[in-house]
């Protein structure tokens, strides 16, 4: 039986027909809506590459069923800011020269954006705790911390 799911992604309404409401939100975003972010990383909510905001909360879209987000507002990295008006974190990542391969950036920025929304001026320890569980194989962790601190200072 086909289920209709209504979501708003980056400000645009979408109606998605799914055969299985347990299909991960990540699959709907990438396969149905043809988005190139978020990324598939581990599929187990352990790396963070699939992080999006659902109604303002950072979640791992690889384990979130599409049926659980019906009528939700979803923000992806593409909806956080634009090239002309980047989110402070996006601008700080560029200024701190964080990107290496770039695969994990989606998760780090989306998680940090939720952290800064809840705690606009976190300490180093709060930043580390808020970003725990995310993976970056390039080892840019210190640059990421600097970028989050820079973005917090812009607020």
Token look-up 């701190």 returns 96
Query: Please, which pLDDT band fits residue 102 given cuts at 50, 70 and 90?
Result: confident
% pLDDT > 70, the chain: 100
Confidence (pTM): 0.94
Fold held by 3-79: Ubiquitin-like (UB roll) (3.10.20)
Architecture of the CATH domain 81-154: Orthogonal Bundle (1.10)
Task: Tell me the two tokens of residue 85.
Answer: 């008006």
Radius of gyration in angstroms for the set of CA atoms belonging to the chain, rounded to a whole number: 15
Is 40's pLDDT higher than 90? yes
The ranges assigned to domains in the chain are 3-79, 81-154
Does pLDDT of 155 surpass 80? no
**In terms of Cα–Cα distance, which of 125, 113, 114 is closest to 151?**
113
109 pLDDT above the threshold of 80: yes
């Amino acid at each position: 039986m086909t289920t209709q799911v209504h979501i708003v992604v980056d400000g645009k309404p979408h109606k998605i027909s799914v055969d299985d409401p347990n299909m991960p939100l990540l699959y709907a975003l990438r396969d149905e809506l043809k988005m190139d972010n978020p990324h598939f990383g581990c599929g187990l909510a352990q790396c963070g590459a699939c992080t999006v905001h659902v109604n303002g909360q950072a979640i791992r879209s690889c384990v979130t069923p599409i049926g659980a987000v019906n009528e939700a507002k979803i923000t992806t990295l593409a909806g956080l800011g634009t090239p002309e008006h980047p989110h402070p974190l996006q601008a700080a990542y560029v200024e701190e020269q964080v990107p290496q391969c770039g695969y994990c950036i989606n998760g780090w920025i989306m998680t940090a954006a939720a952290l800064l929304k809840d705690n606009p001026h976190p300490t180093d320890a709060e930043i580390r705790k808020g970003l725990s569980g995310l993976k970056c194989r390039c080892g840019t962790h210190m640059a990421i911390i600097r970028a989050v601190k820079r973005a917090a200072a812009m607020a």
